[in-house]
Amino acid sequence: MKRILIVGAGGQIGSELTAYLRKIYGGANVIATDVRECRSLGDDGPFAVLNALDPHSYGYTVNKYKVDAIFNLVALLSAVGEKDPQLAWNINMGALMNSLDIARQYGCALFTPSSIGAFGPSSPKDNTPQDTLMRPNTIYGVCKVTGELLSDYYFHKYGVDTRSVRFPGIISSETLPGGGTTDYAVEIFYDAVKTGRFVCPVSPDVYMDMMYMPDALAACVQLMEADPGRLVHRNSFNITAMSFTPEILLAEIRRHWPDLRMEYMIDPVKETIARSWPNSLDDSAAREEWGWKPEWKLPETVADMVRKIAARREAGEI
């Protein structure tokens, strides 16, 4: 990767990936784009407003900056997708199809995240294998499985250098996720620091895979820089760093903030989705094919989040 385009850079992953990539590859070589103006993304490198659903502006931007790698981070997440499935399909698949075709046309490598949401109620729940039954029952999951198949297809038919990971819920302190089922694991820190109280939308005993942002960022670069000859999977790789329930997360946060109160008000959509996803993934294929190895477990993640969110509160940012 030398000249990188990030599409959907204003979101939870993109806002931190932009800064991370600029440190490694140089500010001028990482072009951040989003459908909305995002002032901070233009501070240390190029930023452009780009609607990924418009193939002409997308192709123009790739050509203008002589891009050789694209991160397609455009997505409507799982819970919000259920409110308007047709819109979710149009945005998620529209951005992906344009990314695949433009990557093919301009000879770019393409990273598109898949998700634990690609699995469904009939997938094995524990230690969910890399290659297994995938029949998700959300539109988000349907888009992710379709995207995985298309990534394979474009690799085999056209030689497009497609790469992907199935991200678990991502915990981060800079930009909130929006409309996902795993969002509770981020929102709890914000509410804890602001009100000392959190209302959790999923049951205390539901396990889901999670990861701290520094591991997610490292995964993006490691996979994109991996030797293509070693990559057997071109659809997507299971990756995970930890798996916990709301109850386990609460206990860990209370080691720092003992007064945090938590109540449960179950959101039926999120609850059904959470119960349909794996408890924990088997990420051995990623470890074997490109050396994936997470660094952040739950205690260190929580300690770091508590420190950062408290500092942002003190600075009046949240």
Number of residues in the chain? 318
Decide if 128 contacts 278 (C-beta within 8 A): yes
Looking at residues 2 to 41 of the shown chain, list those that interact with ligand SER (rule: CB under 6 A): none
Sign of the alpha-carbon dihedral angle for 207, 295, 149, 35: positive
Q: Tell me how far apart the alpha carbons of residues 164 and 136 are, in angstroms, rounded to a whole number.
A: 18
Using CB under 6 A as the criterion, what x/- string covers residues 115-154 for binding ligand SER? xxx----------------------x--------------
Nearer to ligand SER, 77 or 100 (CB): 77
Residue with smallest beta-carbon separation from ligand SER? 180
User: Nearest to residue 183, comparing CAs of 83, 269, 311, 59?
Assistant: 269
Residue appearing with tokens 């399909």: 89
Residues 56, 311: Cα–Cα separation, whole Å: 43
Kindly calculate the radius of gyration of the chain based on its CA atoms and give it in whole angstroms.
Answer: 19
Active-site annotation holder among 140, 154, 184, 212: 140
How many residues of this chain interact with ligand SER, rule: CB under 6 A? 11
Tell me if residue 140 is catalytic. Answer: yes
180 binds ligand SER (CB under 6 A): yes
Residue number, 47 or 119, with CB nearest to ligand SER? 119
Question: What string marks each residue from 79 to 118 as x (binds ligand SER by CB under 6 A) or -?
Answer: ------------------------------------xxx-
Binding site for ligand SER (CB under 6 A): 77-78, 115-117, 140, 167, 169, 180-182
For the annotated catalytic residues, the residue numbers are 140
